[in-house]
Amino acid sequence: MSLNAFITETTIQGAADGPLDGTTVAVKDNISTKGVPTTCGSKMLADYEPPYNATVVEDLLAAGGTIVGKTNMDEFGMGTTTETSYFGPTKNPVDETRVPGGSSGGSAAAVANGDADLALGSDTGGSVRAPAAYCGVVGLKPTYGLVSRYGLVAYANSLEQIGPIAPTVEGAAELLDVIAGPDEHDGTTRDAGADADYAGAATGDVDGLTIGVPQELTDGADDRVVERFEAALADLRAQGATTVDVALPSCEYAVAAYYVIAMSEASSNLARFDGVRYGTGGGFDGNWNETFADARADGFGDEVTRRILLGTYALSAGYHDKYYKQAQEARAWVKQDFDETFDDVDVVASPTMPVLPPKLGESLDDPVQMYLADANTTPANLANLPAISVPAGDADGLPVGVQLVGPKFGEETIINAAAAVEQ
C-alpha cells in the first residue's frame, strides 16, 4: 500500500463468532504469528516465521477477529517515527510528507487509513500513544501486567506492553476486553483488571472527576499543541470535571532515565541475535567474534546499533553506578511522584506529544530531538501505569492528542475520561 503501513499482508481468519466477529485487525510485526513472518522491522529477522502465536493473537482470533497483516515499525521498536524500519518508512495518512509516529506507526496508519478496523501495537516509551496522536486515532498502553507479553519480541522487558489502537475510545476498549487477563505463559501478568468491562466504561461521564495537570509536561511544548490541550481541558470542565495543578518534578529526568534503562535492556535482549539462528551472516570463518560482529553489523540498522552500544556502555564496569543505577533511582522517584499525585486526583492529563508530526527525514538527522519527543509518554512506562491518547482536534491540519494517565489498573477511569474528550 502507498503508506507502507504493512510489511506482510495476509488473512488469518478468526473463530466463527465472538465479540470481534467481522472485525479486521492489523498486528505489529514484533508480535508473533505462527507461520507468518514476524520481522520486527529488521533485516536480522527478515525471514523469521514463529512456530507459535502470541497469546494476544490467540485471544483476538478466538474472539472472531480477522488478521489482515503485520504492520511496519521502527526496527525492534527503537524509534518514534517508523523511519528506522529495514522495510522503509511509513507515511502519515493525514499528511504523507510527515511521519506517523512510532514505533507502532504502521498500526496507527493502517487504522487511520481504514485498512484495518483495529490494531495491536506495543508501547515501550510511548510507541502506541505517539503514533495514535500523530495519526489522529486512539492508542492505549495498559498497566504493566494486564496484558500478556508472551510472543512479543520485546527490547526492554520491564517497560513494554501490548496495547490496542482504534478509531474510537470504545473500539480500543473493546479490543482491550479481548486481550486483558492473566496468562500462564507470562509470569508478569496479574489477575487485577481481568474481569473489568472496559468497553462499558467508555461513557464519558466525568462529572466529579478530578484531573491533575502537571506543568512539567506542558513546558516547552509547541504553542499550537498547548492551545488544543487547553481547549480539551476547558471542554472537560464544561462537562463537570475539575482540573487542578499538580507537580511531577521527577518527570524532568524521565527521558534520560528511560533511555538508559531501555538501552541497557536492549543490549542484553538483542545479544541473542548473533547470526547463528537469525540473520544473514556468512557463517563461521575461524573466528567467532568476527563472525558475530559481521552478522550483527549486517543485520542491525544504525539506530539499533546506537542503542546497543549506549546500553552496553551504561552497564559496563565503572559506569553501572553512574548511569544504570541512577536511572533506576530516577524511575523509583517517578513512581513515587505518581503514587502521591493519585492520592489527590483521578487522572493526570498532558499533551501526548509536545510537537506536531515532523516531516519525514527530519528526526533521523537529530536523534536527540527524537528522544526528547518522548518526554510526556515515557513517565507512564517507568511507573508501569495505564495511559491513553485520544484525539483533541488539529492544529494547522495536523492531529493533536491528549494523554490521560491513571493509577495502576485504572484503565476504566482513563477510558471514561477519554470518551469525554472524544465527545
Ramachandran angles phi, psi of 159, nearest 5°: -115, -25
Q: How far apart are CA 163 and CA 175, in angstroms?
A: 9
Q: Which of 32, 42, 122, 127 is catalytic?
A: 127
**Closest Cα to residue 4, out of 71, 49, 69?**
71
Q: How far apart are CA 145 and CA 226, in angstroms?
A: 32
**Closest Cα to residue 399, out of 355, 350, 334?**
355
Sign of CA dihedral 80, 81, 87, 92: positive
Q: How far apart are CA 176 and CA 332, in angstroms?
A: 27
Which H or E run includes 350?
strand 347-351
DSSP 290-344: HHHHHHHHHHS-HHHHHHHHHHHHHHSTTTIIIIIIHHHHHHHHHHHHHHHHTTT
Region label for 273, one of left (φ > 0), alpha (ψ between -120 and 50) or beta (otherwise): beta
Ramachandran angles phi, psi of 407, nearest 5°: -70, 170
322 catalytic per annotation: no
- For residue 166, list its beta bridge partners: 138
Q: How far apart are CA 112 and CA 100, in angstroms?
A: 10
Whether residue 127 is preceded by a cis peptide bond, meaning omega within 30 degrees of 0, is: no
Q: Which of 42, 103, 107, 264 is catalytic?
A: 103
Query: Which long-range CB contacts under 8 A does 368-372 form with residues at least 24 apart?
Result: 370/79, 370/80, 370/81, 371/80, 371/255, 371/259, 372/255
Q: Is 341 in contact with 254 (CB distance < 8 Å)?
A: no
Q: From the CA atom positions of the chain, what is the Rg in Å?
A: 20
91 catalytic per annotation: no
32 catalytic per annotation: no
- Residues serving a catalytic function are 28, 103, 127
